[in-house]
Amino acid sequence: SLSAGLDLPGRFLFATLTLMTLIAILVFIEEAVYIYRKIPSSKRSIIIWINAAAPVISTTSCIGMWIPRSAMFTDFTAGIFFAIVIHKFLMMMIKECGGQKVLLRRFENGHFTISTGPCCCCCPCLPRVPITRKTLFWLQLSTFQFAVFRPVLVFLSIVLWTNDNYILYNLSPRGPALWISCIVGALTLFALWAVGIMFRKVRILLKCKNIIPKFALYQFIVILNQLQITIINMLATQKIIPCAPPLSSTVRGSYIAHQLLIMEMFLITVISRVVYRRKYHDLEPPECVAEEPRDKKQTP
């Protein structure tokens, strides 16, 4: 087994990373109990889903660290869960604004700026889009499609893999891995683009609800879970990460990526507990916000 071939420093590292995973799970459970008791039911499940992203990725990475052959399945599981979390984060921003109806009233004559990352950050000439029920529907659809199609593509990949047609690190144009990866990448960009458009509009309004640090944590999870793993896998495929028998270069690259993710997700879990636990008041309705300056002028 893998643990039998480890030296003393290796066993200490494995034990430490496993302990960090267990602590992250316990921190999340404690935070979920707090959210269930203190947060209104309309936001409760969404916030719990978002807080669960880091512990779930840490758990799948721990399994992949102990069982290197399961790396494809653990990465797929983390990817499916994170696809759902992206949609939940967009819905959380809408909920924090008071819901769709209140958001439309609050930004009745407003516009969405679509020249934002990751798709159109280099296109400032793009027109601004009015905030209507239809545009909100398209933003929600952009994240929902990723939560639906990512599991479908994962299922297709596993079916092809069982038939020896899908090789994760074979990125030749004749193999399905390259095309499935390109489709997943395009769907991911569209989903992240929708979240970026919404955040750019509501970040000032929801500043009192810590939306900026929440979005920063969300972005860190995106970068670490998607970009970091992709870069390490590319380095392993090109043999830049050397093999260490009995582990090949690709298995060792996955092995390193999982160890890094465990440490990073542990830190994000602890920071998320601080960010999401801070108490704040609900936003006042649009009528109160509009009348507030007038009342202050009349105050002697």
**pLDDT tens digit string along 7-58?**
677 788 889 999 999 999 999 999 999 888 888 877 888 989 999 999 999 9
- Residue 52: predicted pLDDT: 92
| Placement of tokens 């087994």 in the chain | 1
Whole-structure pTM value: 0.84
Q: Is the dihedral of CA 11, 17, 21, 23 positive or negative?
A: positive
Nearest to 285 by CA among 33, 103, 31, 48: 103
Domain parsing of the chain, residue ranges: 2-280
Are the C-beta atoms of residues 24 and 58 closer than 8 Å to each other?
yes
Q: Lowest-confidence range among 90-104, 259-273, 278-292?
A: 278-292
Comparing 232 with 249, the larger pLDDT belongs to 232
Q: Lowest-confidence range among 127-136, 195-204, 240-249, 288-297?
A: 288-297
- Cα gap 54→214, rounded to integer Å: 13
Cis bond leading into 245, ω under 30°? Answer: no
Answer whether CATH 3.30.1490 is correct for domain 2-280. no
Q: Around Cβ 35, how many Cβ atoms within 10 Å?
A: 18
Most confident range, picked from 40-44, 80-84, 127-131: 80-84
Nearest to 52 by CA among 276, 288, 290: 276
- Residue 295: predicted pLDDT: 41
- Residue 123: predicted pLDDT: 65
What counts of helices (H) and strands (E) characterise the chain? 11, 2
What token pair was written down for 290?
A: 């509009």
- Residue 265: is its pLDDT beyond 80? yes
- Residue 246: is its pLDDT beyond 70? no
- Residue 191: is its pLDDT beyond 60? yes
User: Quick one: pLDDT band at residue 84, thresholds 50, 70, 90?
Assistant: very high
- Residue 96: predicted pLDDT: 86
